[in-house]
Amino acid sequence: MKTFWRILAFAKPYHKHFPSYAILAFLAIIFSVVNLALLGPLFDVIFDQMDANELAEKAKKIPFSIDIEYLNSIFYQKLLEVETTYGKSSTLIYVSIVIGISALLSNLFTYISNVIMGIVRANVIQRVRNKVFHNTTGLHLGFFSGERKGDIMSRMTTDIQEIEVTVVSGIKVLFREPATIIVYLGFLFIQSVPLTLFTLIFFAIMGVVISEIVKRLKKKAIQSQESLGRILNTLDEVFSGMRIIKAFNAKKYINDHFEAETSIYRKVNISMAKKNELASPVSQFLGILVVATILVYGGTLVLENESELSGSGLLVYIAVFSQIITPVKSLSQSISNIQRGIVSADRVFRLVDEQPKITNKEKALVKTSIEESIEFQNVGFSYEKEPVLSDINVKIKKGQTVALVGSSGGGKSTMADLIPRFYDATSGQITIDGVPIRDIEIDSLRGLLGIVTQESILFNDTVFKNIAFARPEAKEEEVIQAAKIANAHDFIMELENGYHTNIGERGSKLSGGQRQRLSIARAVMKNPPILILDEATSALDSESEKLVQEAITNLMKNRTSVVIAHRLSTIQHADEILVIQKGSIIERGTHNELLDQNGVYTKLISMQTV
């Protein structure tokens, strides 16, 4: 229930729409009842039921007031007038026209109130979606490897769609359907008390049956959404890894995997359909059963002439009763929608409630430059239980370059990830100019850093926008200057629209080396005092590598850099080289010092020069 109110709370800013919605919806209901009630006089005229005395009695003039009685008397005065002057067939036309007008009004009001509801719904969903997105993008990096991407995506799409249904159902459940039912029931009570008490028992039975179905539905809804999340996850993996899948002929593996998941989804949904579709026929059947019983019971009342109920009264009664089934069904449908929506909303709100693990300290320091050094002091780190880094001590003086080398999985990228606080060190600390980075305001810390990774992360936009990524207000000359430094200007000019060429999803229209030079241009553009380069050249052929290497050398001028490299030729001039194995620094020194030691580094070098 708490979740339900939380969804509706998103509608708060739109509360000014509620009164007009309520009034319009209420008018629509009233006119739909009037519509049916008018069938009474219609039948009376057709079946010649109403004698002159009775009509005169109903058409009695009463003082003006805004209530049904007054309107009723006006209606009958007119009716009497028409009947005495023009005869019965004109009376028929008169009643039919009034029915037509009232039907028109009822539907017009329904339409306008539904439009208002549509506006509120669209706004609420936008707010929910934006809020979830903002919160999710603010989360620490670790969250995204732990939580499945597909799962997050399914929460952002289908689950939010379910919430959308809930918003509409919520408004219906809270106002529209109860109001309709009350007005209709009130009318029925006026017609006949015993008959109406009888129908109420029917509703109670229907309620119990439906709620039982709904309860079972909820469990299946959870399974269904989870399965869909896994399907989206597979889709994401497959489409981004299409090249590999084709290269390895892994279609069968992928297809089997996908089919297994869709098969789970199918089973859950069949089971859900069985329950979902049960609600409607059950209530339909019960409804007809009751109408039949009303006919018997009500018919007896009419025939025995013991109650106020007339023949036409019974017909109107059944007409109104048949109408009341619709809002009751809609009410039960809405409640079951809300159940499903609450399941989805819980999943979505878990994203909203997730707290970022990496946060600013209170009164965090804003740092805009590096004056002395970056220092790792006894740094240890583990993603889960296994330690990935231990006892890392290194001082990188301003303007110096420190290179990290070593076998795969040693912990080099992890070490680099600690500097921008993608993760926090588990023990020890990292400082910049003696200030622990935990005390530095995160945005300003990351503002000091330029990061170029092996995987060039580009966005489906123009070359210009991708380079000016961090500074959308940048001038064209600045972007071109950055591209020149990054050795990217020439190939950009050869593109169809130069700097305004769209580079495709994740930069797919460019070569690997071109993508990297764009990433480097982006880093140049940011002009950060500290650089982190993670294997920026390992995926390239030698021609391309030369261009990228030049670009990197340009970029590194006058900056403090941490460089991770597999190709040792690229880091020979580093001020210090750290050989990292199994999370520890096992050798350190300059290129020549390390060669003198004749240890692991020498082995690595000789392997690469063979």
Ligand X SMILES: Nc1ncnc2c1ncn2[C@@H]1O[C@H](COP(=O)(O)OP(=O)(O)OP(=O)(O)O)[C@@H](O)[C@H]1O
Our CB check for Mg ion shows the closer of 359 and 453 to be 453
Residues 136-155 that bind ligand X (CB under 6 A): 145
**Do 73 and 58 contact (CB within 8 A), yes or no?**
yes
Q: Which of 295, 383, 435, 505 binds ligand X (CB under 6 A)?
A: 383
Considering CB distances under 5 to 8 angstroms, the limit depending on partner class, which of ligand X, Mg ion, none binds residue 515? Answer: none
Residues that contact ligand X, how many (by CB under 6 A): 10
State both tokens at 162: 């379910």
410 binds, among ligand X, Mg ion, none (CB under 5 to 8 A by kind): ligand X
Q: Which stretch binds ligand X (CB under 6 A): 154-162, 408-416, 555-563, 596-604?
A: 408-416
CB-based contact 37:187 (threshold 8 Å): yes
**Side by side, which strands form the sheet with 435-436?**
389-397, 373-381, 427-432, 435-436
Burial 494-530 (b: 16+ CB within 10 A, else e): ebeeebebebeeebebbeebbbbbbbbbbbbbbebbb
Q: Work out whether 135 is an interface residue with Mg ion (CB under 5 A).
A: no
Antiparallel, parallel or unpaired: β 427-432 and 435-436: antiparallel
Establish if 388 lies at the interface with ligand X (CB under 6 A). yes
How many Cα atoms within 13 Å fall on the side-chain side of residue 35? 19
Q: Using the rule CB under 6 A, is 420 a contact of ligand X?
A: no
Report whether 555 contacts 531 (CB < 8 A). Answer: yes
383 contact choice in Mg ion, ligand X, none (CB below 5 to 8 Å, kind-dependent): ligand X
Three-state secondary-structure class, residue 119? helix
Residue 309 vs 604, nearer CB to Mg ion: 604
Specify the stretch interacting with Mg ion by CB under 5 A; choose among 24-32, 261-269, 290-298, 408-416. 408-416
Q: Does 410 bind ligand X (CB under 6 A)?
A: yes
The nearer residue to ligand X, 145 or 305, going by C-beta atoms, is 145
Read off φ and ψ for residue 588, nearest 5 degrees: -150, 155
Distances (CA, A) of 50 to 28, 35, 389: 29, 19, 96
Answer for which of 413, 429, 502, 554 binds ligand X (CB under 6 A) is 413
Report if residue 413 touches Mg ion, rule: CB under 5 A. Answer: yes
- Give residues with Cβ within 8 angstroms of 552, minimum separation 6: 452, 520, 533, 536, 537, 570
Nearer to Mg ion, 320 or 415 (CB): 415
Residue (412 or 515) nearer to ligand X, CB: 412
Q: Toward ligand X, which CB reaches closer, 466 or 537?
A: 537
- By a kind-dependent CB cut-off of 5 to 8 A, residue 408 interacts, out of ligand X, Mg ion, none, with ligand X
Label the pairing between strands 449-453 and 435-436.
Answer: unpaired
The stretch among 71-79, 191-199, 209-217, 405-413 that binds ligand X (CB under 6 A) is 405-413
- Contacts with ligand X, residue ranges (CB under 6 A): 145, 383, 388, 408-414
- Contacts with Mg ion, residue ranges (CB under 5 A): 413
